[in-house]
Amino acid sequence: MEVAQKTVAEKPEFSEYDYSNFYYGAGDDPINLLRPYADWYREARANGYYLYQEALGSAPTTHIRVRNGRTGEWLELLNMASYNYLGISYRPEVKKAAAEAIEKYGLGASGSPILSGTFDIHEEFASELARFKDKEACILFPTGYSANVGFISALMRAGDTIFLDQYSHASIVDGAILAKSKTIFFRHNNPLDLERKMAKEKGKKLVVVEGVYSMDGDMCALPEVVEVTKRHGARMLIDEAHSTFLFGNHGRGVVEHFGLDKEVDFHLGTFSKSLGGQGGFVAGSKELIDYVTAFGRSRFFSCNLSPVLTAGLLAALRIAASEPGLRAKMWSNVAYLRRRFAEEGIDIGKSNSQVMPVMVNNDAKVFAVAEKIQDHGLFLNPVTFPAVPKHKSRLRISVSAAHTEEDLERATQAIAAVLREEGICR
Amino acid sequence: MSITRYGFRDVISGFFEFPTDNARRLLPRGIEPFELHHGTSIFAVNIFDFDESEVGEYGEVVYAVVVPPLVREGRLPQSAMFPWQVATTTRAAREHAIERWHLPHWMEDVEVEFLREKGRMTAKVKAEEAPALEMTITDHSWQRVQHLYQSFQKDDSGTYLASILFEGEKSEHEEEKGRVVLHDTPFNRDLVLSEVYETPFREQWMRKGCQLFDPLLKL
């Protein structure tokens, strides 16, 4: 029936929108979405988004200085957010190596690795890393993102098929886009769904998984995924960004943990997580590395890793390789926190790693919870839709070998107190 | 300005992943699908139980592809759809929607049976006396909302935009508890059935509300 008019609230609540509403802007002008986004973000930031990109004023150790995104005030907080899983990046040996390198090389590589940007320190680091990973060779990328983008697009082409876990990191998805291959997503960690989807495809196939998934902290169901992949004659890439240097007897990753190192074709990792630096790598046969050197555009056309950073990474790698006690300490911290969280009724979903999502499961409350936890002296990050499914909001915790039991107990008590106050845990 | 109102008891919507290749086959030139992931678009099944309209009570099934909204001055739409097949339980409803909204229709009456249970609702649809689809949607938390959506239509006379305000109680979640069964019948001929994932990644349910349509805009 026809009615005279409708009453439309001209300015709906900011919480009715999210990033996904500002991605596509149909129409003829590329800047169509700037103003609506700016209007939304102004309100979103005031209502909790200020908790993103808060500036740090100290090294990312377990205790840090953080500038509050709303007030500008510097706060002293217990750091439960930085990767730095082994607490290596600020070790004196690492800083010394970097300091010596800046004296020797200056600030940057000043060139692409293919032309003038490869230094002796890059070769030394790549060679030691290959030995650590028990592979013939290794190639370095300026970031973890560029490692995935460069490697996947170096190997795969239009007409090929790439199978991705639905929770794949953006760098893996972007690599598949750049490869122009057909991309098929399978349900998270679900080998049966992968099987169903692989059965329909012919031709060159690549399956990409992650050792540990960064939003849920759950390990890849690697034995089952490997079995399906092999049965369909496909190749497999594992991104061990969150698992290299942590899992397995030697710290080689989830592949070593499951004894499947030789079954997985391509091994990728990063230096920003366990080593607390920056960059990425792929390890494998010399033939593979030679090919990726030639066709990995994200590396070929970027400036190489700074030699200063590389010297620090080399020192960090030597620590990670020679001090297994660091891994043991991190896992003991993980066990402690898991036990305490269980005792306090704090839900960490399916995590079985050092990445622990504290499930809030309430999109409307997650920022208020994060604010209160910061008021209790903790630094951690809220994660909400569309980074995770609707109503699956969480606070992401990274456990480090550098945390003391006292730190972890303090974190547990603060989180439990706030979650109880908000009616989220018992 | 004249607004058209449709009151509903319930509207259930399931959003399913399906290949962008399939989505592109359903969309006219110039309208792109909204991709959930690279290569994966969104197939929306919306089933309405209308209890108030110019043409009385009726049931309606809308198959649509989720597309980017048209961003203009004023309120930002929640999302947009391109319906490629609408089926109604009455001829009057069908003729009304074709005439006023230029919507592409299944040209026979369909049967829609709603089964209401605690926390879930199932709609069973029959076309040409044979089962065409069954969809179950579950609920989460309910809140009263007023959400703006867009619907694009295209026929021989041009491309049109309908702005639709949904008012009512809404539940929305991504718990993956719902399900759809699409039967291999002419009703589903535009879909590659094996490529539609049977569990909706998002489930929406609106109840005790209405749709308010702005006059159709020719683009």
Identify the band that residue B210 occupies on the pLDDT scale cut at 50, 70 and 90.
Answer: very high
State whether B75 and A390 contact (CB < 8 Å).
Answer: no
Q: What is the pLDDT of residue B23?
A: 96
- Residue A320: beta bridge partners? none
State whether B39 and A392 contact (CB < 8 Å).
Answer: no
A79 touches chain B (CB under 8 A): no
Residues in chain A, pLDDT under 70: 1-12, 25-26
Q: What is the pLDDT of residue B64?
A: 98
Strands A235-239 and A205-210 come out as parallel
Q: What is the pLDDT of residue A140?
A: 98
Q: What is the pLDDT of residue A144?
A: 98
User: What does pLDDT average to over chain B?
Assistant: 95
Element (DSSP H or E) covering residue B208: strand B202-213
B99 touches chain A (CB under 8 A): no
Identify the band that residue B127 occupies on the pLDDT scale cut at 50, 70 and 90.
Answer: very high
- Which amino acid, one-letter code, is at A349? G
Measured distance CA(B191)–CA(B182) in Å, rounded: 9
**Backbone φ/ψ region at A146: left (φ over 0), alpha (ψ -120 to 50), beta:** alpha
Measured distance CA(A253)–CA(A261) in Å, rounded: 9
Domain-embedded: residue A101: yes
A125 and A210: one domain? yes
Backbone φ, ψ for residue A416 (5° rounding): -60, -40
Residues 105-164 of A with CB under 8 A from B: 164
Three-state SS annotation for B20-33: HHHHHHHCCCCCCC
A161 and A63: one domain? no
A103 touches chain B (CB under 8 A): no
- Of A304, A322, A340, the last residue of a domain is A322
Sort out which chain A residues have CB atoms less than 8 A from B82's CB and list them. none
- Of A322, A345, A366, the last residue of a domain is A322
Q: Does the pLDDT of residue B206 top 90, yes or no? A: yes
State whether B71 and A5 contact (CB < 8 Å).
Answer: no
State whether B5 and A392 contact (CB < 8 Å).
Answer: no
- Neighbouring residues of A352: CB distance < 8 A, sequence distance ≥ 6: A217, A218, A219
Range of the domain at A347: 49-79+325-421
State whether A3 and B212 contact (CB < 8 Å).
Answer: yes
Q: What is the pLDDT of residue A425?
A: 84
A252 and A314: one domain? yes
Q: What share of chain B in percent tops pLDDT 70?
A: 100
Nearest beta carbon to residue B3 from set A2, A12, A176: A2
Q: Are B204 and B166 in contact (CB under 8 A)?
A: no
Does the N-terminal peptide bond of residue A324 adopt cis geometry, omega within 30 degrees of 0? no
- What pLDDT digit, counting tens, does each position of A2-44 carry? 555 555 555 667 888 888 888 876 577 888 888 889 999 999 9
In DSSP notation, B141-197 reads --EEEEEEEEEEEEETTEEEEEEEEEEEEEEEE-----EEEE-SSGGGTTS-GGGS-
Q: What is the pLDDT of residue A177?
A: 97
Q: What is the pLDDT of residue A295?
A: 98
- What pLDDT digit, counting tens, does each position of A182-204 carry? 999 999 999 999 999 999 899 99
State whether A3 and B52 contact (CB < 8 Å).
Answer: no
Which of A390, A410, A391, A408 lies closest to A399, judged by CA?
A408
Nearest beta carbon to residue A36 from set B32, B53, B71: B71
- What pLDDT digit, counting tens, does each position of B131-141 carry? 999 999 999 99
DSSP code, position B44:
E
Measured distance CA(B159)–CA(B67) in Å, rounded: 14
- Which amino acid, one-letter code, is at A196? R
Q: What is the pLDDT of residue A8?
A: 55
Measured distance CA(B208)–CA(A361) in Å, rounded: 26
Measured distance CA(A133)–CA(A83) in Å, rounded: 21
A71 and A218: one domain? no
State whether B146 and A9 contact (CB < 8 Å).
Answer: yes
State whether B54 and A1 contact (CB < 8 Å).
Answer: yes
Domain-embedded: residue A5: no
A316 and A265: one domain? yes
State whether B38 and A173 contact (CB < 8 Å).
Answer: yes
Element (DSSP H or E) covering residue A2: strand A2-3
> In chain A, whose CA is at the least distance from the CA of B76?
A36
Domain-embedded: residue A426: no
Per the structure block, which two tokens stand in for A335? 């066990």
State whether B3 and A33 contact (CB < 8 Å).
Answer: no
Please report, for chain B, the start and end positions of each structural domain, with discontinuous segments joined by +.
4-218
A35 touches chain B (CB under 8 A): no
The arithmetic mean of pLDDT across residues B135-164, rounded, is 94
A264 and A313: one domain? yes
Domain-embedded: residue A185: yes
A207 and A101: one domain? yes
Q: What is the pLDDT of residue A3?
A: 57
Provide the 10 A C-beta neighbour count for residue B56: 12
> In chain A, whose CA is at the least distance from the CA of B219?
A27
B143 touches chain A (CB under 8 A): no
B3 touches chain A (CB under 8 A): yes
> In chain B, whose CA is at the least distance from the CA of A161?
B39
Measured distance CA(A94)–CA(A316) in Å, rounded: 6
What does the radius of gyration of chain B's CA atoms come to, in whole angstroms?
Answer: 16
Helix axes A191-198, A222-231, angle to 10 degrees: 10
A21 touches chain B (CB under 8 A): yes
Q: What is the pLDDT of residue A15?
A: 81
State whether A177 and B2 contact (CB < 8 Å).
Answer: no
Nearest beta carbon to residue A6 from set B52, B76, B212: B212
Sort out which chain A residues have CB atoms less than 8 A from B214's CB and list them. 6
State whether B4 and A8 contact (CB < 8 Å).
Answer: no
- What pLDDT digit, counting tens, does each position of A120-155 carry? 999 999 999 999 999 999 999 999 999 999 999 999
State whether B38 and A182 contact (CB < 8 Å).
Answer: no
> In chain A, whose CA is at the least distance from the CA of B150?
A26
Q: What is the pLDDT of residue A18?
A: 85
Sort out which chain A residues have CB atoms less than 8 A from B78's CB and list them. 16-17, 21
> In chain A, whose CA is at the least distance from the CA of B149?
A21
Interface A-B: count of C-beta contacts within 8 A: 91
State whether A27 and B70 contact (CB < 8 Å).
Answer: yes
State whether B69 and A26 contact (CB < 8 Å).
Answer: yes
Q: What is the pLDDT of residue A200?
A: 87
The correct answer on CATH 2.40.400.10 for the domain covering B4-218 is yes
Sort out which chain B residues have CB atoms less than 8 A from A9's CB and list them. 75, 146
Nearest-CA distance B187 → chain A (Å): 24
Measured distance CA(B57)–CA(B199) in Å, rounded: 29
A331 and A241: one domain? no
Q: What is the pLDDT of residue A35?
A: 87
ipTM tops 0.90 = no
Sort out which chain B residues have CB atoms less than 8 A from A176's CB and list them. 38
Sort out which chain B residues have CB atoms less than 8 A from A164's CB and list them. 37
Q: What is the pLDDT of residue A364?
A: 85
Give Dmax (Cα) for chain B. 46
**Whole-number Cα distances in Å, A171 to A8, A123, A200, A210:** 40, 25, 26, 12
Q: Does the pLDDT of residue B22 top 80, yes or no? A: yes
Q: What is the pLDDT of residue B16?
A: 96
Sort out which chain B residues have CB atoms less than 8 A from A171's CB and list them. none
Backbone φ, ψ for residue A149 (5° rounding): -60, -45
Nearest beta carbon to residue B71 from set A33, A185, A391: A33
Task: Name the residue with tokens 């839900």.
Answer: A347
- What pLDDT digit, counting tens, does each position of B86-112 carry? 999 999 999 999 999 999 999 999 999
A109 and A28: one domain? no
Per the structure block, which two tokens stand in for B118? 């605690």
Domain count of chain A? 3
For A299-335, b/e burial (b = at least 16 CB within 10 A) is: bbebebbbbbbbbbbbbbbbbbeebeebbebbbebbe
Sort out which chain B residues have CB atoms less than 8 A from A16's CB and list them. 78, 145, 147
Which of A292, A280, A283, A282 lies closest to A135, judged by CA?
A283
Q: Are A266 and A239 in contact (CB under 8 A)?
A: no
User: What does pLDDT average to over chain A?
Assistant: 94
